[in-house]
Amino acid sequence: MVCEMGFLQRFSRDQPATWAAMKKYNPRYFSIVGGGITSPDNLLPHGEALFHNYLTGLLFLQAEGVEWSKTVWLPDDFGHDSQLPVTLVALGANAVSFARIPGACNQGGNFVPTGARSAYEVLLDETNGGLSFEWGAADSSSIFTYFMPTHYSCGDSFNHVPTHIPNSPTSAAQCQSPKTCNDNSCQLQAFIDVRAPLSVAPVYFVPFGDDFGMPVLGLLESLEVWNTEHYPKTGVYAVASQFDVFVGLMADHLQGHPHLLPHRSFHGSTPKTSFKPTPYWTGFYSSRPQLKYNHYTGTRLLLGVETLDLLLESLTLPALEPGQLEAVWSDLAPSTHHDYITGTAVDYVVENEQYPLGEKVLAGAAKLQATLLSSLEMATDGFVFNQNGFALPQTLVQVAPSSPLFHHPLAQRNPDGALVFLADVPAFGYSVVTKKSLVAAPLAPVKLQTSPSKLVLSNQYLSATASSAANWSLTSLVDLATKQSVLSQGNLVEFRHDQGNIYRYGFEEGCGFDPYTVKVLTYAPIVVEQGDLRAKVQMQLEVSDPSGSFSTRNYTLTYSLSATEAFLRMSLEGVALPSSSVLTSFSFAESISHYTHGTPTHWDRKEPFAFGRQSDFLVTMEATHDFLIPESAGGDLLAAIYHPASPSWGVIDQSLYGVLLRDSPGGAGCPGYGADGTDQASHLINYAIRVPSGLTSPSTGMPQREARAYHTPLLVATGHAGPSTHYSLAKVTGNDMVFLTAAKRGSFDPTQAVFRIYNPTNKNVSVSITFPKSLLNATTRVSLATALERPLKTLTSVHEHTLTISLANAVTTVMLENSK
pLDDT tens-digit readout, 399-427? 776 665 545 556 787 887 777 888 889 99
Digit-coded pLDDT (tens) for 125-149: 999 999 999 999 999 999 999 999 9
The pLDDT of residue 417: 73
- Residues 326 and 63: their CA atoms lie apart, in Å, by 14
- Average pLDDT value for residue range 303-312: 96
Per-residue pLDDT band for 725 (boundaries 50, 70, 90) equals confident
Q: Where are the beta strands (DSSP E) in 576-647?
A: 580-587, 594-598, 603-606, 622-623, 625-631, 640-642
The pLDDT of residue 819: 76
- Residues 801 and 815: their CA atoms lie apart, in Å, by 14
Dihedral pair phi/psi, residue 311, rounded to 5°:
-60, -45
Handedness of CA 253, 256, 257, 259 (dihedral sign): positive
Per-residue pLDDT band for 325 (boundaries 50, 70, 90) equals very high
Find out whether 84 and 65 touch, Cβ atoms under 8 Å: no
For β-strands 71-73 and 95-98, DSSP reports them as parallel
- Residues 348 and 354: their CA atoms lie apart, in Å, by 9
- Residues 479 and 466: their CA atoms lie apart, in Å, by 15
Digit-coded pLDDT (tens) for 63-75: 999 999 999 999 9
Question: Which of 350-359, 633-642, 666-675 is least confident?
Answer: 666-675
- Average pLDDT value for residue range 355-369: 97
For β-strands 513-515 and 489-498, DSSP reports them as antiparallel
Handedness of CA 431, 433, 436, 437 (dihedral sign): positive
The pLDDT of residue 720: 53
With b for 16 or more beta-carbon neighbours within 10 A and e for fewer, the 264-273 pattern comes to bbbbbeebbb
Q: Does residue 723 register a pLDDT over 60?
A: no
The pLDDT of residue 404: 57
Element (H, E) at 752: strand 752-758
Find out whether 739 and 705 touch, Cβ atoms under 8 Å: yes
Largest CA distance in the chain: 90
- Average pLDDT value for residue range 376-397: 81
Per-residue pLDDT band for 787 (boundaries 50, 70, 90) equals very high
Looking at per-residue pLDDT, the higher value among 608 and 442 belongs to: 608
Per-residue pLDDT band for 751 (boundaries 50, 70, 90) equals very high
- Residues 103 and 28: their CA atoms lie apart, in Å, by 36
- Residues 150 and 673: their CA atoms lie apart, in Å, by 19
Q: Does residue 525 register a pLDDT over 80?
A: yes
Q: Does residue 438 register a pLDDT over 80?
A: no
The pLDDT of residue 518: 94
SS (H, E, C) 257-273: CHHHCCEEECCCCCCCC
This prediction has a pTM of: 0.96
- Residues 456 and 446: their CA atoms lie apart, in Å, by 10
Strand-pair partners of 716 = 384
Q: Does residue 380 register a pLDDT over 80?
A: no
Nearest residue to 276 via CA among 102, 124, 100, 106: 102
Mean pLDDT (the chain) is: 93
Amino acid at 333: A
- Residues 814 and 807: their CA atoms lie apart, in Å, by 11
> DSSP character for 516?
P
Question: Which of 50-54, 220-224, 795-799 is least confident?
Answer: 795-799
Q: Angle at Cα 339 formed by Cα 642 and Cα 34, nearest 5°?
A: 100
The pLDDT of residue 628: 98
The pLDDT of residue 377: 65
Looking at per-residue pLDDT, the higher value among 811 and 108 belongs to: 811
The pLDDT of residue 443: 73
Dihedral pair phi/psi, residue 780, rounded to 5°:
-75, 135
The pLDDT of residue 722: 53
Q: Does residue 379 register a pLDDT over 50?
A: no
- Residues 670 and 685: their CA atoms lie apart, in Å, by 26
The pLDDT of residue 75: 94
Q: Does residue 780 register a pLDDT over 60?
A: yes
The pLDDT of residue 721: 47
